[in-house]
Amino acid sequence: MKYSILLLFLFLALNLNGQNYQPDWESLDKRPVPQWFEDSKFGIFIHWGVYSVPSWGPTGDSIGVYDKYAEWYWRKMDQPGKVQKYFKEFHLKTYGPDFKYQDFAPMFKAELFDPEQWAELFKESGAKYIVLTSKHHEGFTLWPSAQSWNWNSVDIGPHRDLCGDLTTAVKKQGLHMGFYYSLYEWYNPIYRSDLNSYVDNHMIPQMIDLVIRYTPDILWTDGEWDKPSKEWKSEAFLTWLYNESPVKENIVVNDRWGSETRSKHGGIYTTEYGLIGDKEGIDSSIPHPWEECRGIGTSFGYNRNENLNDYSTPEQLIKLLVSTVSAGGNLLLDIGPDADGTIPVIMQQRLLDIGKWLKINGEAIYGTRAFIMSKKDEAINPETNKTIFFTQKNKDVYVICLDWPKSDIILKGLKPINKTKVQLLGTNISVAVKKAGGNLVITPPVLTPDDNQLAYVFKINSLNF
Protein backbone atom coordinates (compact mmCIF):
# COMPACT_ATOMS: atom_id res chain seq x y z
CA MET A 1 0.00 0.00 0.00
CA LYS A 2 2.66 2.42 1.10
CA TYR A 3 4.71 1.43 -1.86
CA SER A 4 1.95 2.18 -4.32
CA ILE A 5 1.29 5.61 -2.83
CA LEU A 6 4.96 6.33 -3.16
CA LEU A 7 4.84 5.23 -6.76
CA LEU A 8 1.87 7.47 -7.42
CA PHE A 9 3.69 10.47 -6.01
CA LEU A 10 6.74 9.62 -7.99
CA PHE A 11 4.59 9.34 -11.10
CA LEU A 12 2.99 12.73 -10.47
CA ALA A 13 6.29 14.37 -9.66
CA LEU A 14 8.00 13.06 -12.76
CA ASN A 15 4.87 13.28 -14.87
CA LEU A 16 5.86 9.97 -16.39
CA ASN A 17 3.49 10.18 -19.29
CA GLY A 18 5.45 13.27 -20.25
CA GLN A 19 2.50 15.49 -20.94
CA ASN A 20 3.13 18.77 -19.33
CA TYR A 21 2.95 21.24 -22.15
CA GLN A 22 2.92 24.94 -21.42
CA PRO A 23 0.52 27.36 -23.12
CA ASP A 24 3.08 28.76 -25.52
CA TRP A 25 4.11 27.68 -29.01
CA GLU A 26 7.66 26.94 -27.96
CA SER A 27 6.43 24.21 -25.66
CA LEU A 28 3.45 23.02 -27.73
CA ASP A 29 5.54 22.67 -30.87
CA LYS A 30 7.69 20.07 -29.08
CA ARG A 31 4.87 17.56 -29.09
CA PRO A 32 5.62 14.91 -31.72
CA VAL A 33 2.87 14.20 -34.22
CA PRO A 34 1.51 10.75 -33.26
CA GLN A 35 3.07 8.19 -35.55
CA TRP A 36 -0.20 6.67 -36.72
CA PHE A 37 -0.78 9.79 -38.77
CA GLU A 38 2.39 9.70 -40.84
CA ASP A 39 2.00 5.96 -41.34
CA SER A 40 -1.55 6.37 -42.65
CA LYS A 41 -0.71 8.49 -45.71
CA PHE A 42 -4.20 8.62 -47.15
CA GLY A 43 -7.35 10.10 -45.63
CA ILE A 44 -10.75 11.24 -46.84
CA PHE A 45 -12.05 14.73 -46.22
CA ILE A 46 -15.82 15.24 -46.23
CA HIS A 47 -17.41 18.64 -46.82
CA TRP A 48 -21.07 18.40 -46.00
CA GLY A 49 -23.42 21.08 -44.73
CA VAL A 50 -26.16 23.50 -45.72
CA TYR A 51 -24.07 24.49 -48.79
CA SER A 52 -24.62 20.94 -50.07
CA VAL A 53 -28.19 22.02 -50.93
CA PRO A 54 -27.45 24.69 -53.58
CA SER A 55 -24.20 22.79 -54.29
CA TRP A 56 -23.10 25.25 -56.87
CA GLY A 57 -20.01 27.20 -57.82
CA PRO A 58 -18.52 28.64 -61.00
CA THR A 59 -16.11 26.45 -62.95
CA GLY A 60 -13.51 26.92 -65.65
CA ASP A 61 -9.94 28.07 -66.08
CA SER A 62 -10.69 31.77 -65.66
CA ILE A 63 -11.91 31.30 -62.07
CA GLY A 64 -9.36 31.34 -59.21
CA VAL A 65 -8.76 28.24 -57.07
CA TYR A 66 -10.59 29.57 -53.99
CA ASP A 67 -13.40 31.11 -56.04
CA LYS A 68 -14.63 27.72 -57.22
CA TYR A 69 -15.50 26.45 -53.76
CA ALA A 70 -19.21 25.61 -53.54
CA GLU A 71 -19.04 25.64 -49.71
CA TRP A 72 -18.42 29.40 -49.96
CA TYR A 73 -21.82 29.98 -51.60
CA TRP A 74 -23.24 32.20 -48.81
CA ARG A 75 -20.20 34.40 -48.51
CA LYS A 76 -19.47 34.74 -52.22
CA MET A 77 -23.02 35.84 -52.87
CA ASP A 78 -22.71 38.68 -50.35
CA GLN A 79 -19.08 39.64 -50.60
CA PRO A 80 -18.00 42.06 -53.34
CA GLY A 81 -15.44 40.28 -55.49
CA LYS A 82 -14.65 38.75 -58.83
CA VAL A 83 -17.19 35.95 -58.63
CA GLN A 84 -20.03 37.54 -56.69
CA LYS A 85 -22.00 38.12 -59.87
CA TYR A 86 -21.98 34.42 -60.79
CA PHE A 87 -23.25 33.32 -57.39
CA LYS A 88 -25.88 36.07 -57.26
CA GLU A 89 -27.10 35.38 -60.75
CA PHE A 90 -27.44 31.66 -60.08
CA HIS A 91 -29.21 32.25 -56.80
CA LEU A 92 -31.70 34.77 -58.14
CA LYS A 93 -32.50 32.69 -61.17
CA THR A 94 -32.90 29.47 -59.23
CA TYR A 95 -34.36 30.46 -55.88
CA GLY A 96 -35.59 34.03 -56.29
CA PRO A 97 -34.82 37.26 -54.43
CA ASP A 98 -36.61 36.39 -51.18
CA PHE A 99 -34.83 33.11 -50.60
CA LYS A 100 -32.24 33.38 -47.86
CA TYR A 101 -29.29 31.05 -47.36
CA GLN A 102 -30.87 29.95 -44.08
CA ASP A 103 -33.85 28.69 -46.08
CA PHE A 104 -31.63 25.92 -47.44
CA ALA A 105 -31.29 24.36 -43.97
CA PRO A 106 -34.65 22.51 -43.95
CA MET A 107 -33.79 21.21 -47.44
CA PHE A 108 -30.65 19.55 -46.09
CA LYS A 109 -32.41 16.28 -45.24
CA ALA A 110 -29.79 13.55 -45.56
CA GLU A 111 -32.71 11.17 -46.07
CA LEU A 112 -30.54 8.58 -47.82
CA PHE A 113 -27.57 8.86 -45.45
CA ASP A 114 -26.27 5.42 -44.57
CA PRO A 115 -23.16 5.86 -42.41
CA GLU A 116 -22.31 2.15 -42.53
CA GLN A 117 -22.32 2.24 -46.31
CA TRP A 118 -20.09 5.32 -46.32
CA ALA A 119 -17.68 3.68 -43.91
CA GLU A 120 -17.50 0.52 -46.04
CA LEU A 121 -16.67 2.62 -49.07
CA PHE A 122 -13.97 4.47 -47.12
CA LYS A 123 -12.47 1.20 -45.96
CA GLU A 124 -12.45 -0.11 -49.55
CA SER A 125 -10.72 3.06 -50.75
CA GLY A 126 -7.68 2.27 -48.65
CA ALA A 127 -7.99 5.49 -46.66
CA LYS A 128 -6.97 5.18 -43.02
CA TYR A 129 -8.65 8.26 -41.62
CA ILE A 130 -11.67 10.47 -42.15
CA VAL A 131 -12.12 14.18 -41.51
CA LEU A 132 -15.72 15.44 -41.49
CA THR A 133 -16.75 19.11 -41.43
CA SER A 134 -18.32 19.36 -37.98
CA LYS A 135 -18.83 23.07 -38.71
CA HIS A 136 -17.77 25.11 -41.74
CA HIS A 137 -17.55 28.91 -41.95
CA GLU A 138 -21.36 29.15 -42.16
CA GLY A 139 -21.53 28.10 -38.48
CA PHE A 140 -24.00 25.24 -39.00
CA THR A 141 -22.98 22.25 -36.89
CA LEU A 142 -23.43 18.60 -37.86
CA TRP A 143 -23.88 17.70 -34.23
CA PRO A 144 -26.34 18.94 -31.56
CA SER A 145 -24.15 21.77 -30.33
CA ALA A 146 -25.70 23.76 -27.48
CA GLN A 147 -23.79 26.80 -28.74
CA SER A 148 -25.39 26.57 -32.15
CA TRP A 149 -29.02 26.52 -31.18
CA ASN A 150 -31.37 26.02 -34.13
CA TRP A 151 -28.44 26.08 -36.52
CA ASN A 152 -27.43 22.44 -36.30
CA SER A 153 -28.34 19.15 -37.97
CA VAL A 154 -30.46 17.88 -35.08
CA ASP A 155 -32.65 20.97 -34.71
CA ILE A 156 -33.17 21.48 -38.45
CA GLY A 157 -32.75 19.52 -41.66
CA PRO A 158 -31.60 15.94 -41.14
CA HIS A 159 -32.71 15.88 -37.47
CA ARG A 160 -29.79 13.63 -36.89
CA ASP A 161 -26.42 13.71 -35.15
CA LEU A 162 -24.36 13.33 -38.31
CA CYS A 163 -21.01 13.61 -36.50
CA GLY A 164 -22.01 10.93 -34.01
CA ASP A 165 -23.51 8.52 -36.52
CA LEU A 166 -20.55 8.72 -38.88
CA THR A 167 -18.05 8.44 -36.03
CA THR A 168 -19.61 5.18 -34.86
CA ALA A 169 -19.57 3.66 -38.34
CA VAL A 170 -16.04 4.82 -39.19
CA LYS A 171 -14.56 3.57 -35.93
CA LYS A 172 -16.31 0.23 -36.46
CA GLN A 173 -14.35 -0.16 -39.70
CA GLY A 174 -11.13 0.38 -37.77
CA LEU A 175 -10.44 3.77 -39.33
CA HIS A 176 -9.43 6.93 -37.50
CA MET A 177 -12.15 9.54 -37.20
CA GLY A 178 -11.54 13.27 -37.12
CA PHE A 179 -13.27 16.61 -37.46
CA TYR A 180 -12.75 19.77 -39.43
CA TYR A 181 -13.74 22.80 -37.38
CA SER A 182 -13.84 26.41 -38.58
CA LEU A 183 -12.64 28.91 -35.98
CA TYR A 184 -14.35 31.85 -37.64
CA GLU A 185 -17.98 32.20 -38.60
CA TRP A 186 -18.94 34.60 -41.36
CA TYR A 187 -22.21 35.88 -39.97
CA ASN A 188 -22.31 35.00 -36.28
CA PRO A 189 -23.24 38.32 -34.63
CA ILE A 190 -21.27 37.47 -31.48
CA TYR A 191 -18.17 36.74 -33.54
CA ARG A 192 -18.59 40.07 -35.26
CA SER A 193 -19.29 42.14 -32.15
CA ASP A 194 -17.43 40.50 -29.27
CA LEU A 195 -14.59 38.18 -30.23
CA ASN A 196 -13.64 37.41 -26.66
CA SER A 197 -17.11 36.23 -25.82
CA TYR A 198 -17.30 34.21 -29.04
CA VAL A 199 -14.03 32.45 -28.24
CA ASP A 200 -14.87 31.79 -24.56
CA ASN A 201 -18.55 30.97 -24.84
CA HIS A 202 -18.88 29.51 -28.30
CA MET A 203 -15.72 28.34 -30.05
CA ILE A 204 -13.73 26.73 -27.24
CA PRO A 205 -16.80 25.07 -25.67
CA GLN A 206 -17.68 23.65 -29.10
CA MET A 207 -14.20 22.19 -29.62
CA ILE A 208 -14.19 20.71 -26.12
CA ASP A 209 -17.67 19.29 -26.73
CA LEU A 210 -16.51 17.62 -29.96
CA VAL A 211 -13.49 16.13 -28.23
CA ILE A 212 -15.39 14.82 -25.21
CA ARG A 213 -18.41 13.48 -27.06
CA TYR A 214 -16.68 11.74 -29.95
CA THR A 215 -13.01 11.30 -28.89
CA PRO A 216 -11.70 12.09 -32.37
CA ASP A 217 -8.16 11.34 -33.52
CA ILE A 218 -7.92 14.53 -35.58
CA LEU A 219 -9.01 18.09 -34.99
CA TRP A 220 -8.53 19.92 -38.27
CA THR A 221 -9.09 23.63 -37.70
CA ASP A 222 -9.50 26.26 -40.42
CA GLY A 223 -10.73 29.84 -40.88
CA GLU A 224 -7.86 30.83 -38.61
CA TRP A 225 -6.46 33.58 -40.84
CA ASP A 226 -8.89 36.19 -39.54
CA LYS A 227 -7.15 36.63 -36.14
CA PRO A 228 -3.77 35.94 -34.56
CA SER A 229 -3.56 32.79 -32.43
CA LYS A 230 -3.50 34.81 -29.19
CA GLU A 231 -6.98 36.12 -29.92
CA TRP A 232 -8.29 32.63 -30.62
CA LYS A 233 -6.60 31.49 -27.37
CA SER A 234 -5.25 28.59 -29.38
CA GLU A 235 -2.26 27.96 -27.13
CA ALA A 236 -4.47 27.61 -24.06
CA PHE A 237 -6.82 25.24 -25.86
CA LEU A 238 -3.99 23.06 -27.16
CA THR A 239 -2.48 22.86 -23.69
CA TRP A 240 -5.73 21.35 -22.47
CA LEU A 241 -5.91 19.07 -25.50
CA TYR A 242 -2.35 17.75 -25.09
CA ASN A 243 -2.22 17.55 -21.29
CA GLU A 244 -5.69 16.79 -20.03
CA SER A 245 -8.13 15.77 -22.71
CA PRO A 246 -9.28 12.18 -23.25
CA VAL A 247 -7.57 12.19 -26.66
CA LYS A 248 -4.19 13.51 -25.52
CA GLU A 249 -2.27 10.43 -26.74
CA ASN A 250 -3.55 10.10 -30.29
CA ILE A 251 -4.93 13.47 -31.31
CA VAL A 252 -3.45 15.07 -34.40
CA VAL A 253 -3.94 18.76 -35.11
CA ASN A 254 -2.84 20.95 -37.99
CA ASP A 255 -1.13 24.33 -38.32
CA ARG A 256 -4.25 26.50 -38.68
CA TRP A 257 -4.42 28.15 -35.27
CA GLY A 258 -4.05 31.85 -36.09
CA SER A 259 -3.06 34.23 -38.87
CA GLU A 260 0.65 33.68 -38.12
CA THR A 261 0.76 29.91 -37.57
CA ARG A 262 0.70 28.08 -40.92
CA SER A 263 3.85 26.04 -41.50
CA LYS A 264 5.16 27.36 -38.18
CA HIS A 265 3.11 26.16 -35.23
CA GLY A 266 0.77 23.40 -34.15
CA GLY A 267 0.87 19.89 -35.60
CA ILE A 268 0.99 18.91 -39.23
CA TYR A 269 1.57 21.54 -41.90
CA THR A 270 -1.15 21.83 -44.50
CA THR A 271 -1.42 22.75 -48.14
CA GLU A 272 -4.65 23.20 -50.05
CA TYR A 273 -4.65 22.63 -53.82
CA GLY A 274 -0.90 22.91 -53.39
CA LEU A 275 -1.10 26.35 -51.82
CA ILE A 276 -0.50 27.81 -48.37
CA GLY A 277 -2.87 30.77 -48.25
CA ASP A 278 -1.87 32.70 -51.33
CA LYS A 279 1.60 31.16 -51.71
CA GLU A 280 3.05 28.06 -53.34
CA GLY A 281 3.04 24.98 -51.09
CA ILE A 282 5.37 23.29 -48.71
CA ASP A 283 9.15 23.12 -48.73
CA SER A 284 9.33 19.37 -48.27
CA SER A 285 13.10 19.41 -47.84
CA ILE A 286 12.41 20.61 -44.28
CA PRO A 287 11.18 17.41 -42.65
CA HIS A 288 7.91 18.00 -40.84
CA PRO A 289 4.74 15.94 -41.22
CA TRP A 290 2.47 17.61 -43.73
CA GLU A 291 -0.71 17.00 -45.62
CA GLU A 292 -2.14 18.15 -48.93
CA CYS A 293 -5.92 18.52 -49.16
CA ARG A 294 -8.08 19.06 -52.22
CA GLY A 295 -11.24 17.85 -53.86
CA ILE A 296 -11.48 15.19 -56.54
CA GLY A 297 -12.86 18.06 -58.58
CA THR A 298 -12.29 21.78 -58.05
CA SER A 299 -14.47 22.25 -54.96
CA PHE A 300 -14.66 20.75 -51.47
CA GLY A 301 -18.45 20.97 -51.11
CA TYR A 302 -20.42 19.18 -53.82
CA ASN A 303 -20.68 21.31 -56.96
CA ARG A 304 -23.42 20.18 -59.34
CA ASN A 305 -22.05 22.57 -61.92
CA GLU A 306 -18.97 20.42 -62.48
CA ASN A 307 -18.61 18.11 -65.45
CA LEU A 308 -16.52 15.01 -65.92
CA ASN A 309 -13.57 17.05 -67.16
CA ASP A 310 -13.51 19.01 -63.87
CA TYR A 311 -12.77 15.77 -62.00
CA SER A 312 -9.32 14.27 -61.70
CA THR A 313 -8.87 11.01 -63.57
CA PRO A 314 -7.80 7.88 -61.65
CA GLU A 315 -4.30 8.30 -63.14
CA GLN A 316 -4.11 11.89 -61.91
CA LEU A 317 -5.23 10.86 -58.43
CA ILE A 318 -2.62 8.13 -58.18
CA LYS A 319 -0.01 10.64 -59.32
CA LEU A 320 -1.21 13.05 -56.65
CA LEU A 321 -1.03 10.38 -53.96
CA VAL A 322 2.35 9.07 -55.04
CA SER A 323 4.00 12.46 -55.51
CA THR A 324 2.66 13.63 -52.14
CA VAL A 325 3.79 10.54 -50.25
CA SER A 326 7.20 10.49 -51.94
CA ALA A 327 7.70 14.04 -50.66
CA GLY A 328 6.87 12.86 -47.14
CA GLY A 329 3.27 14.07 -47.07
CA ASN A 330 -0.21 12.67 -46.57
CA LEU A 331 -3.08 13.12 -48.99
CA LEU A 332 -6.44 14.19 -47.59
CA LEU A 333 -8.72 13.78 -50.59
CA ASP A 334 -12.09 15.45 -50.35
CA ILE A 335 -15.53 14.24 -51.30
CA GLY A 336 -18.68 16.37 -51.23
CA PRO A 337 -21.76 14.31 -50.47
CA ASP A 338 -25.15 15.40 -51.75
CA ALA A 339 -27.61 17.04 -49.33
CA ASP A 340 -29.65 13.82 -49.56
CA GLY A 341 -26.82 11.84 -47.95
CA THR A 342 -25.56 10.03 -51.04
CA ILE A 343 -21.98 10.20 -52.25
CA PRO A 344 -21.93 11.16 -55.94
CA VAL A 345 -21.18 8.02 -57.94
CA ILE A 346 -18.15 9.56 -59.68
CA MET A 347 -16.57 10.12 -56.26
CA GLN A 348 -17.33 6.55 -55.20
CA GLN A 349 -15.74 5.32 -58.41
CA ARG A 350 -12.58 7.34 -57.91
CA LEU A 351 -12.22 6.19 -54.30
CA LEU A 352 -12.60 2.58 -55.34
CA ASP A 353 -10.03 3.03 -58.12
CA ILE A 354 -7.53 4.26 -55.56
CA GLY A 355 -8.46 1.39 -53.25
CA LYS A 356 -7.89 -1.17 -55.97
CA TRP A 357 -4.44 0.24 -56.68
CA LEU A 358 -3.58 0.36 -52.98
CA LYS A 359 -4.60 -3.27 -52.47
CA ILE A 360 -1.70 -4.26 -54.70
CA ASN A 361 0.71 -1.41 -54.13
CA GLY A 362 -0.17 -0.20 -50.64
CA GLU A 363 3.09 -1.39 -49.13
CA ALA A 364 4.85 1.29 -51.21
CA ILE A 365 2.65 3.91 -49.51
CA TYR A 366 1.61 3.00 -45.95
CA GLY A 367 4.27 3.34 -43.29
CA THR A 368 6.82 4.72 -45.74
CA ARG A 369 8.87 7.87 -45.53
CA ALA A 370 10.37 10.16 -48.14
CA PHE A 371 13.47 8.61 -49.66
CA ILE A 372 16.14 11.22 -49.22
CA MET A 373 19.24 10.57 -51.23
CA SER A 374 22.54 11.97 -50.24
CA LYS A 375 23.75 15.17 -51.91
CA LYS A 376 26.12 13.43 -54.29
CA ASP A 377 23.20 11.51 -55.73
CA GLU A 378 21.16 14.53 -56.65
CA ALA A 379 21.18 13.46 -60.28
CA ILE A 380 18.36 11.06 -59.49
CA ASN A 381 16.59 13.13 -56.90
CA PRO A 382 12.90 12.29 -57.36
CA GLU A 383 12.16 15.96 -57.82
CA THR A 384 14.08 15.97 -61.07
CA ASN A 385 11.99 13.21 -62.52
CA LYS A 386 8.27 13.75 -62.63
CA THR A 387 7.20 10.25 -63.61
CA ILE A 388 9.32 8.15 -61.25
CA PHE A 389 8.90 8.56 -57.51
CA PHE A 390 10.56 6.91 -54.53
CA THR A 391 9.48 5.92 -51.05
CA GLN A 392 11.35 4.05 -48.37
CA LYS A 393 10.63 1.65 -45.54
CA ASN A 394 13.60 0.44 -43.51
CA LYS A 395 16.07 -1.11 -45.97
CA ASP A 396 13.59 -1.33 -48.80
CA VAL A 397 13.08 1.25 -51.50
CA TYR A 398 10.01 1.48 -53.69
CA VAL A 399 10.38 2.83 -57.20
CA ILE A 400 6.97 3.97 -58.37
CA CYS A 401 6.66 4.50 -62.12
CA LEU A 402 3.62 6.38 -63.36
CA ASP A 403 4.34 5.17 -66.88
CA TRP A 404 5.47 1.70 -67.78
CA PRO A 405 9.24 1.97 -68.29
CA LYS A 406 10.09 0.85 -71.79
CA SER A 407 13.81 0.67 -71.12
CA ASP A 408 16.16 0.02 -68.20
CA ILE A 409 15.69 2.11 -65.10
CA ILE A 410 19.11 3.31 -64.04
CA LEU A 411 19.26 4.36 -60.42
CA LYS A 412 22.47 6.21 -59.85
CA GLY A 413 24.15 5.83 -56.53
CA LEU A 414 21.97 3.01 -55.20
CA LYS A 415 24.12 0.16 -54.04
CA PRO A 416 22.73 -3.35 -54.33
CA ILE A 417 24.21 -6.08 -52.13
CA ASN A 418 24.25 -9.80 -52.96
CA LYS A 419 20.84 -10.49 -51.58
CA THR A 420 19.21 -7.43 -53.16
CA LYS A 421 16.13 -8.51 -55.08
CA VAL A 422 13.67 -6.56 -57.17
CA GLN A 423 10.02 -7.42 -57.36
CA LEU A 424 7.20 -5.91 -59.40
CA LEU A 425 4.29 -5.61 -56.98
CA GLY A 426 1.16 -7.40 -58.06
CA THR A 427 2.96 -9.93 -60.29
CA ASN A 428 5.01 -13.07 -59.79
CA ILE A 429 7.45 -12.01 -62.43
CA SER A 430 11.06 -11.97 -61.28
CA VAL A 431 12.79 -8.79 -62.27
CA ALA A 432 16.36 -8.64 -63.45
CA VAL A 433 18.60 -6.37 -61.45
CA LYS A 434 22.27 -5.69 -61.91
CA LYS A 435 25.02 -3.55 -60.59
CA ALA A 436 26.66 -1.37 -63.19
CA GLY A 437 29.34 1.10 -62.29
CA GLY A 438 27.92 2.09 -58.92
CA ASN A 439 24.38 2.19 -60.29
CA LEU A 440 21.51 -0.17 -59.84
CA VAL A 441 19.86 -1.13 -63.10
CA ILE A 442 16.38 -2.61 -63.28
CA THR A 443 15.35 -4.25 -66.52
CA PRO A 444 11.56 -4.13 -66.75
CA PRO A 445 10.00 -7.51 -67.56
CA VAL A 446 7.53 -8.19 -70.34
CA LEU A 447 4.00 -7.37 -69.25
CA THR A 448 0.71 -8.78 -70.39
CA PRO A 449 -2.54 -6.78 -70.50
CA ASP A 450 -3.59 -8.47 -67.24
CA ASP A 451 -0.76 -6.71 -65.44
CA ASN A 452 -2.02 -3.28 -66.42
CA GLN A 453 -2.01 -0.83 -63.51
CA LEU A 454 -2.38 2.88 -62.81
CA ALA A 455 1.26 2.99 -61.68
CA TYR A 456 3.92 0.31 -61.35
CA VAL A 457 5.94 -0.36 -58.26
CA PHE A 458 9.34 -2.00 -58.22
CA LYS A 459 10.30 -2.98 -54.72
CA ILE A 460 14.02 -3.13 -54.09
CA ASN A 461 14.68 -5.36 -51.08
CA SER A 462 17.67 -4.97 -48.86
CA LEU A 463 19.58 -2.06 -50.17
CA ASN A 464 22.81 -1.05 -48.61
CA PHE A 465 22.68 2.58 -47.56
For the bound state, the minimum distance from the C-beta of residue 191 to ligand H79, rounded and expressed in Å, comes to 16
For the bound state, the minimum distance from the C-beta of residue 381 to ligand H79, rounded and expressed in Å, comes to 30
Q: Which residues have a Cβ under 8 Å from the Cβ of 286 and sit 6 or more positions away?
A: none
Residue nearest to ligand H79 (CB): 277
Report the alpha-carbon distance of residue 413 to residue 377 in Å, rounded: 6
For the bound state, the minimum distance from the C-beta of residue 261 to ligand H79, rounded and expressed in Å, comes to 12
Q: Which is nearer to ligand H79, 254 or 361 (by Cβ)?
A: 254
For the bound state, the minimum distance from the C-beta of residue 130 to ligand H79, rounded and expressed in Å, comes to 14
For the bound state, the minimum distance from the C-beta of residue 338 to ligand H79, rounded and expressed in Å, comes to 17
Q: Which is nearer to ligand H79, 274 or 277 (by Cβ)?
A: 277
Q: Which is nearer to ligand H79, 98 or 278 (by Cβ)?
A: 278
Q: Which is nearer to ligand H79, 259 or 461 (by Cβ)?
A: 259
Q: Which is nearer to ligand H79, 333 or 441 (by Cβ)?
A: 333
DSSP 399-433: EEESS--SS-EEEET--B-TT--EEETTS--B-EE
For the bound state, the minimum distance from the C-beta of residue 264 to ligand H79, rounded and expressed in Å, comes to 14
For the bound state, the minimum distance from the C-beta of residue 307 to ligand H79, rounded and expressed in Å, comes to 21
**Burial status of residue 211 (CB atoms within 10 A of its CB: 0-12, 13-18, 19 or more):** buried
Q: Output the CA–CA distances (angstroms, integers) from residue 337 to 36, 164, 221, 299, in the order listed.
A: 27, 17, 20, 12
HSE value, Cβ hemisphere, 13 Å, CA-based, for 21? 25
Give the pairing type, strands 275-276 and 279-280: antiparallel
Q: Which is nearer to ligand H79, 66 or 366 (by Cβ)?
A: 66
H or E element that contains 396 = strand 396-401
The type of residue at 49 is: G
User: Beta partners for 370?
Assistant: 391
User: Beta partners for 291?
Assistant: 270, 330
User: Beta partners for 443?
Assistant: 432
Q: Which is nearer to ligand H79, 295 or 416 (by Cβ)?
A: 295
Report the alpha-carbon distance of residue 375 to residue 373 in Å, rounded: 6
For the bound state, the minimum distance from the C-beta of residue 272 to ligand H79, rounded and expressed in Å, comes to 5
The residue count of the chain comes to 465
Q: Which is nearer to ligand H79, 277 or 438 (by Cβ)?
A: 277
Q: Is the Cβ–Cβ distance between 390 and 322 less than 8 Å?
A: no
For the bound state, the minimum distance from the C-beta of residue 115 to ligand H79, rounded and expressed in Å, comes to 21
Binding site for ligand H79 (CB under 6 A): 66, 69, 71-72, 222, 225, 272, 277-278, 293, 300
HSE value, Cβ hemisphere, 13 Å, CA-based, for 414? 29
For the bound state, the minimum distance from the C-beta of residue 275 to ligand H79, rounded and expressed in Å, comes to 8
Q: Which is nearer to ligand H79, 51 or 198 (by Cβ)?
A: 51
Q: Is the Cβ–Cβ distance between 148 and 140 less than 8 Å?
A: yes
Q: Is the Cβ–Cβ distance between 90 and 56 less than 8 Å?
A: yes
CA angle 237, 242, 243 (to 5 degrees): 100
For the bound state, the minimum distance from the C-beta of residue 231 to ligand H79, rounded and expressed in Å, comes to 15
Q: Is the Cβ–Cβ distance between 39 and 287 less than 8 Å?
A: no
Q: Which is nearer to ligand H79, 222 or 235 (by Cβ)?
A: 222
Give the pairing type, strands 369-370 and 388-393: antiparallel
Q: Which is nearer to ligand H79, 218 or 373 (by Cβ)?
A: 218
Report the alpha-carbon distance of residue 113 to residue 116 in Å, rounded: 9
